[in-house]
């Protein structure tokens, strides 16, 4: 745990057992790619670098921590880059040469290899087209976020921004995180036109939806450029794109004019203005200063009425899975501990049709119904606490890794005797612990809500047309399943059961 704040910019260099705090004034102001390269030059070419860019230095609440230099993997959500920036901590660089010890190394390797074969077979489309391979389906099922979540269909635009289109145009290869059997990461290069010369990490599903249909932009190359900019500044692409879309709607409604924007025309789909606005957000300049902390803060700074179309929960912009199309996500977003977050829930996969036999979920529910989702969301949140805590990629869960395998791998690694129930009860304890921390900050049922656009503005067309989640009813079911009070707080009995009664 890094406590306190350095007086001058620093980075932490960890080489096997040695830990050193080094000056980083010469790195302050560099983008994340430049920072990682400079630190590898100073330390070890094989060092892994997690760093912030100019957005984190300027304490943007949308600032991410970027990992792997030009590979651009992101700890994107929740403004962790601002936490590092507040400590004057530019980066943490690590190089380890010893191998971890396992209780049963051979058994673990055997089990992981068996699972990898299944994961690979179940993820062929992800390998070929990346996370954006399903974009046509996303549009067809009414899940696509369009024009700041206002429209219901975008048939004309969707085919132009898919993973398949990327493969036909700018894709040059796959990127695999360490030891990954899938390799969903995209490597791209633009060779013609105004963006010629851009190369590196390509945009993912969330980034494509955010800078694509959310802003009525069907130009895939411009989305790749916006992705690159966010990665370099160290900005979360979900929150940044949600905030750009918010600004475009404010422009449309006359709440922003060209004096506010420094001359930018924020009409929907204006890619040049979007690119400039991202630069302004990353540097906290001009209108970017008002937008750099996301839509909730921007609404407070610009015009109180604009909170109506600030699509966020607890200050975090929603990721691009529509809770009006997959109602379990309404509950997931409303109750996730860090705000509008899909990674604590992931139940839309089950509503899409994926079965989870080792959790007892083999019969996917009606995705538009608000009935019977409370226990399911709580169970999946519990599972995801452990999954996330083990540092595993969500896409292997989608490909078949459930709590049974988590228990098996934990036992082989540590010599424990976990069963599925232990995974889920550990997850339940973790989720409640996080809720207790939030409760200390005053979070309760009043905060477990959704933005007006999700509660009272149905999609006007498409498969999810007219549907809205009945959040009050769902919350009642959910709190009951969790053993929480109607005010959304863990009861003394529940804390006793979880061994948390001293908190
Ligand atoms: S670990 Fe996950 S995010 Fe990384 S390449 Fe593999 S599937 Fe993609």
State the Cα torsion 367-373-379-381 to the nearest 10°.
70
- Is 90 exceeded by the pLDDT of residue 408? yes
Does 269 contact ligand 1 (Cβ within 6 A)?
no
Does 395 contact ligand 1 (Cβ within 6 A)?
yes
pLDDT in tens, 36-66: 999 999 999 999 999 999 999 999 999 999 9
Distance 184 CA to ligand 1 centre (A): 5
- Using CB atoms within 10 Å of the CB of residue 120, give its burial: 0 to 12 exposed, 13 to 18 middle, 19+ buried: middle
The closest alpha carbon to 11, from 43, 46, 33, belongs to 43
Please state the rounded mean pLDDT for residues 396-422. 96
Give the separation between CA 279 and CA 301, rounded to whole angstroms: 19
Where are the CATH 1.10.569.10 domain residues in the chain?
127-316
| CATH class entry, domain 10-95 | alpha beta
The closest alpha carbon to 329, from 350, 358, 357, belongs to 350
Does 392 contact ligand 1 (Cβ within 6 A)?
no
Where are the CATH 1.10.599.10 domain residues in the chain?
322-497
Show the tokens assigned to 318. Answer: 């929603």
Looking at residue 420, its pLDDT comes to 97
Please state the rounded mean pLDDT for residues 7-12. 98
CA dist 141 → 98, 135, 315, 363, 478 (Å): 48, 10, 27, 19, 25
Looking at residue 397, its pLDDT comes to 92
Does 67 contact ligand 1 (Cβ within 6 A)?
no
Closest protein CA for atom 8 of ligand 1:
184
Enclosing H/E stretch for 279: helix 271-283
Please state the rounded mean pLDDT for residues 398-406. 94
Ligand 1 closest atom vs CA 185: 5
| CATH class entry, domain 322-497 | mainly alpha
Provide CB contacts within 8 A for 283, sequence distance 6+.
54, 58, 233
pLDDT in tens, 193-220: 999 999 999 999 999 999 999 999 999 9
Ligand 1 closest atom vs CA 175: 5
Does 399 contact ligand 1 (Cβ within 6 A)?
no
Ligand 1 closest atom vs CA 176: 5
Does 9 contact ligand 1 (Cβ within 6 A)?
no
Distance 394 CA to ligand 1 centre (A): 8
Does 184 contact ligand 1 (Cβ within 6 A)?
yes
Residue 71 dihedral angles phi and psi, to the nearest 5° = -70, -25
Where are the CATH 3.60.9.10 domain residues in the chain?
10-95
Q: Tell me the best of 72, 183, 387 to mutate to test the pocket of ligand 1, counting ligand atoms within 8 Å of each CB and taking the most.
A: 183
pLDDT in tens, 354-383: 999 999 999 999 999 999 999 999 999 999
CATH architecture of 127-316: Orthogonal Bundle (1.10)
Does 83 contact ligand 1 (Cβ within 6 A)?
no
Please state the rounded mean pLDDT for residues 114-136. 96
Looking at residue 503, its pLDDT comes to 85
Looking at residue 102, its pLDDT comes to 97
ipTM: 0.99
Does 205 contact ligand 1 (Cβ within 6 A)?
no
- Is 90 exceeded by the pLDDT of residue 151? yes
Please state the rounded mean pLDDT for residues 123-145. 96
pLDDT-based confidence at residue 396 (cuts at 50, 70, 90):
very high
**What's the N-to-C CA distance of the chain in angstroms?**
21
Q: What is residue 326's DSSP assignment?
A: S
Please state the rounded mean pLDDT for residues 464-492. 97
Q: How high does pLDDT run on average in the chain?
A: 97
- Is 90 exceeded by the pLDDT of residue 304? no
């Amino acid at each position: 745990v890094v406590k306190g704040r350095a007086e001058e910019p620093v980075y932490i260099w960890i080489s096997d057992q040695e830990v050193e705090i080094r000056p980083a004034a010469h790195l302050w102001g560099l983008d994340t790619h430049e920072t990682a390269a400079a630190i590898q030059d100073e330390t070890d070419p094989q060092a892994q670098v997690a760093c912030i860019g100019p957005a984190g230095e300027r304490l943007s609440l949308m600032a991410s921590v970027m990992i792997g230099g030009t590979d651009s993997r992101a700890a994107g959500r929740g403004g962790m880059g601002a936490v590092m920036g507040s400590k004057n901590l530019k980066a943490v660089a690590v190089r380890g040469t010893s191998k971890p010890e396992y209780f049963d190394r051979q058994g673990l390797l055997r089990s992981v290899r068996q699972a990898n074969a299944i994961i690979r077979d179940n993820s062929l489309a992800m390998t070929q087209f990346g996370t954006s391979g399903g974009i046509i389906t996303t549009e067809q099922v009414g899940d696509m976020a369009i024009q700041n979540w206002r429209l219901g269909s975008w048939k004309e635009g969707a085919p132009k921004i898919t993973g398949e289109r990327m493969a036909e145009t700018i894709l040059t290869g796959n990127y695999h995180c360490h030891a990954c059997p899938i390799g969903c990461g995209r490597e791209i290069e633009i060779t013609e036109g105004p963006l010629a010369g851009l190369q590196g990490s390509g945009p993912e599903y969330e980034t494509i939806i955010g800078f694509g249909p959310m802003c009525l932009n069907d130009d895939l190359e411009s989305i790749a450029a916006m992705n690159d900019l966010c990665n370099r500044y160290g900005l979360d692409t979900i929150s940044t794109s949600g905030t750009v879309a918010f600004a475009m709607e404010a422009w449309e409604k006359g709440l922003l004019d060209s004096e506010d924007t420094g001359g930018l025309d924020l009409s929907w789909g204006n890619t040049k203005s979007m690119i400039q606005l991202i630069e302004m957000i990353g540097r906290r300049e001009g209108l970017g200063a008002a937008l750099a902390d996301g839509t909730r803060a921007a609404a407070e700074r610009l015009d109180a009425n604009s909170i109506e179309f600030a699509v966020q929960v607890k200050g975090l912009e929603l990721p691009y899975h529509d809770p009006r199309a997959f109602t379990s996500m309404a509950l997931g977003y409303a109750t996730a501990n860090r705000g509008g977050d899909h990674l604590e829930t992931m139940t839309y996969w089950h509503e899409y049709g994926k079965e989870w036999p080792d959790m007892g979920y083999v019969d996917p529910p009606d995705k538009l119904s608000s009935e019977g989702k409370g226990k399911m969301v709580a169970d999946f949140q519990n599972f995801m606490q452990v999954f996330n805590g083990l540092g595993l990629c969500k896409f292997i869960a989608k490909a078949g890794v459930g709590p049974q395998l988590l228990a098996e791998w934990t036992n082989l690694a540590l010599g424990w005797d976990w069963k599925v129930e232990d995974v889920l009860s550990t997850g339940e304890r973790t989720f409640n612990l996080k809720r207790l921390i939030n409760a200390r900050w005053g979070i309760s049922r009043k905060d477990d809500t959704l933005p007006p656009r999700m509660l009272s503005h149905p999609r006007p067309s498409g498969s999810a047309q007219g549907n809205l989640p009945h959040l009050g009813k769902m919350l009642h079911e959910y709190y009951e399943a969790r053993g929480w009070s109607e005010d959304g707080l863990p009861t003394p009995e529940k804390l006793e059961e979880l061994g948390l009664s001293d908190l």
